[in-house]
Copies of this chain bind each other. A is one copy, B any other.
Amino acid sequence: MDKISDVTIADCEKSTYIKPLRLTYQQNGIKKIWDAMKVHDSVVILIYNVTRHVLVFVKQFRPAVYLCSSKVSEVEGQRVIKHEENPPNLGLTYELCAGIVDKDTSLEQIAQGEVLEECGYKVPLDKLERMCSCRGGVGTSGALQTMYFAEVTDAMRVSQGGGVEEEGEMIDVVDIPVSEAMDFVMDDNVNKPVGMMFAVLWFFQHKNKHYSSKI
């Protein structure tokens, strides 16, 4: 478990990461205004390790989730989250391996790179199967998310993964046996985005029978 401390919150007049844009438009003759932000498209990958019949996820501390799950206090005029009262696992999430589309290569190559960086598997491109695409958000951001399924083996594991240290990523790789995956997904005590939940249900509908017949 990561040790989280000294959490403070401040208004951020000019964020490098969150840059609102104002759209004005007419819809059926009525003038409207909507504030949105442009975010990168992304790829996410459901990884299935066929050697050990496990699904591979990433676990990490997500400040935004911690903020939404914690009680904010005021100490000497400053907003803080006391980690003694708000355990860090409030901000811990289980997610699919993922990355943003910020390189001029194919989506498959970006997905391949993320599987290696985050989870340590060197997966051949032909073991990456396109699942579908969806919108990452529809309110403030509307970027496209493309979902892949990657079949890996223990022999493809070349590192421990964990993300790019220079980028400050602190990611744990978590194996969940397929036999426990459905309970895991439907467990409300586990923080997870709905994309991960969709991918697991998709696996059970499209893949699990195929693999079950082989083990």
**Chain A: interface residue count, which band?**
35 or more
Q: How many copies does the complex hold?
A: 2
The reply to whether B23 and A15 form a contact with Cβ atoms under 8 Å apart is no
| Per-residue contact bits, chain A 117-150, to B (CB 8 Å; 1 contact, 0 not) | 0000000000000001111111111111101000
| Per-residue contact bits, chain A 8-42, to B (CB 8 Å; 1 contact, 0 not) | 11111001111111111111111110111111010
Instruction: Assess whether A73 is interfacial by the CB under 8 Å rule.
Output: no
With A9-B23, A132-B197, A138-B65 in contact, do A32 and B192 touch (Cβ < 8 Å)? no
Tell me the bound Cα distance from A10 to B19 in angstroms.
Answer: 11
Tell me the bound Cα distance from A125 to B2 in angstroms.
Answer: 41
The reply to whether A27 and B2 form a contact with Cβ atoms under 8 Å apart is yes
The reply to whether B26 and A21 form a contact with Cβ atoms under 8 Å apart is no
Q: Which residues on B sit within 8 Å (CB–CB) of A27? A: 2-4, 61, 170
Instruction: Assess whether A195 is interfacial by the CB under 8 Å rule.
Output: yes
Q: Which residues on B sit within 8 Å (CB–CB) of A156? A: none
Residues of A within 8 A of B (CB): 2-12, 15-32, 34-39, 41, 61-69, 91, 93, 95, 132-145, 147, 168, 170, 186, 188, 191-195, 197-198, 201-202, 204-205
